[in-house]
Structure 1
């Protein structure tokens, strides 16, 4: 069974038993989360999409805070002595899909 789920404004293609990183979610390690915004479901060749989808995806939080790679935004204007360096690390949550029902 395959589903396309909208999590925090991004779309993810998920299957039962799959582990993936999503934008940071509230909760602690071991908490159960449920996603109701399902865009597409393929159940052994039976496809439903849009308003016809009547499914939910249940998942468990494996790791509540994972930091992504450092992204640096460096600005400089030549011959002016102007330099700015900004950086950040995006926070993610690792979840494991338990079931699509």
Structure 2
């Protein structure tokens, strides 16, 4: 069974027992999440939109940060350069059930 869920404004295709990284969701490790379901594929039978009636539950595994992204700006022949970096916050979740 496959479901498409919406988490923090982004859509993800998930299966049971799948682990994935999503944009930061408030909560601590071990907390349960109920995800918004957009589509469910149950053995070739599709359910779309508000008629889905399915529930996808997930568990927060950890709060992590992504790799460093460097933004470098430079203007040639002016002696101007600027270097900034950031690390995006992610939440690692595990899908526990699709019902």
TM-score range normalised by the length of the shorter chain: over 0.9
Alignment of 1:25-44 (within 5 A): 25-35=25-35, 37-44=36-43
- RMSD across aligned C-alpha pairs, in angstroms? 0.9
Runs of 4+ in 1 over 6 A off after TM superposition: none
1:44-81 Cα deviation digits (max 9, x unpaired): 22111123211121011111x21111101100001111
Q: TM-score normalized by structure 1?
A: 0.93
Q: CA deviation at 1:38?
A: 1.4
- Unaligned stretches of 5+ residues in structure 2: none
The residue aligned with 2:72 is: 74
2:55 matches 1:56: yes
Aligned length: 99
